[in-house]
Homo-oligomer: A and B are copies of this chain.
Amino acid sequence: MNRADRPAVGDSVDAIETPALVIDLDAMQRNLAAMAAFARAHGVRLRPHAKMHKCAAIAGLQMAAGAVGVCVQKTSEAEALAVAGVADVYITNEVIDRRKLERVAALARRIRLAIAVDSAEGVDRLAEAMRRVGAAIEVFVEIDVGQGRCGVAPAAAGALAHQVVSHAPPEGGLRFAGLQAYHGGAQHLRGAAEREAASHHAAALARAAQASITASGIACPLVTGAGTGTFAFDAASGVWGELQTGSYLFMDRDYADNAPSPQAPRFEHALFVKSQVMSRGAAHAVIDAGHKSHAIDSGLPRVWARELEYGNGGDEHGILRPKPGALAHDLPQLGETVWLVPGHCDPTVNLHERYVAVRGGLERGIVESVWPIEARGCFA
């Protein structure tokens, strides 16, 4: 790929070619500190989800602020971050493919690694792969706490934990570590009361799973899960001992559309797509950022600090019009910069090679860092 458009440290914001993924470092660091303080104050561990940022430099900042490690969703994400120096990674997902399990086992010999399971066959395949190379891995039994995707029913957790323990050291390489309990669907329920109810429901299911495990005579060291929409409720329940929040760091439009949770810190938008007007009609302006530069799975981006509405212009364009009631004179001119707040951070980040991290705000800031997004495209 051509890299002529790479921005340099010390450049002004103006010099960043568009479209570009830009971090407002001041806002990001306030978000980082607020989440770290919340976890400390509530006596829970923080293991942020790096599927969101996919970046070793950011994982490093999170760990420096007290995070115990990071989560990822895919084997190749774990590999990419490990190569870049992240030494404590939890794959919060199942791996079934034997070739991929060989990779998991190879990685478990190099870093502290954990993984989720939700089937007897998965446990046996994992154990076989670990045995073959003499590696050890921490294993969480995933339970379905309302999402209806992966995970076993709470009542089945004990049997699966038992099977994990049957492959325990010193003979086997699986260390039972607890429960994976994440309800993705709960994170974007708009009302705080709805999210609280979903969290309570998930907590009840997690308690039932804990009971199923202890009834098998096995200790359940930890329940891990939670996201940016529910973590304050999850932490208050006393069930979760580790929070996997990711999006708090950047805050996308979709999360900002949630009614705030009363006990949660307020997070600021810290991730933006810088774009430029490259065509101008009488009643609309066209910018150079379409859905190849920001994901639209959770809706269109919001135009930042302007009375403009973003309309879908396809893969490479966005079409801006004044908001109802706003003046046509608010429409930006040819060449003007327009900042977008992405609808959903995670898949937006996955489109970009790097972050341009800016200190001093979007108007007159300076490029402080350019961070590679090492795990971009690592969905295997």
Interface residues of A (CB under 8 A from B): 1-2, 4-5, 15, 17-20, 51, 73-74, 76, 79-80, 83, 93-97, 99-100, 103, 118-119, 121-122, 144, 148-151, 184, 276-281, 284, 286, 288-293, 295-297, 312-317, 319, 334-335, 346-347, 350-353, 374-380
On whether the beta carbons of B149 and A380 are closer than 8 Å, the reply is no
CA distance A295 to B162 in the complex (A): 40
A103 to B286: give the CA distance in the assembly, Å: 21
A279 B149 Cβ-Cβ under 8 A: yes
Give the contacting residue for A315; candidates B76, B122, B150, B347; CB below 8 A.
B347
- Most chain B CB within a 10 A radius of its CB, from A148, A278, A293, A295: A278
| Complex-state Cα separation, A295 to B296, whole angstroms | 9
Q: Are A96 and B276 in contact (CB under 8 A)?
A: yes
Task: Report whether B96 and A315 are in contact in the complex, using a CB–CB cutoff of 8 Å.
Answer: no
The 3 closest A-B pairs by CB, nearest first: A2-B79, A150-B279, A292-B379
Q: Is the CB of B286 within 8 A of A297?
A: no
Give the residue of B73, B296, B375 whose beta carbon is less than 8 angstroms from that of A1: B375
Q: Contact partner of A184 among B97, B121, B314, B377, CB < 8 A?
A: B314
| A76 vs B95: C-alpha distance when bound (angstroms) | 36
Which residues from chain B contact A76 at a C-beta distance below 8 Å?
Answer: 1-2, 4-5
Number of copies: 2
**Main SS of the interface on chain A?**
loop
Residues on B with beta carbons closer than 8 Å to the beta carbon of A297: 291, 296, 312, 315
**6 interchain pairs, CB-CB under 8 A:** A4-B76, A17-B99, A149-B279, A149-B313, A316-B379, A352-B377
Residues of B within 8 A of A350 (CB): 292, 315, 351
- A284 and B149 CA atoms in complex are apart in Å by 8
Complex: A175 Cα to B269 Cα, angstroms:
45
Q: B2–A286 contact, CB under 8 A?
A: no
Instruction: Report yes or no: A380 in contact with B278, Cβ–Cβ below 8 A.
Output: no
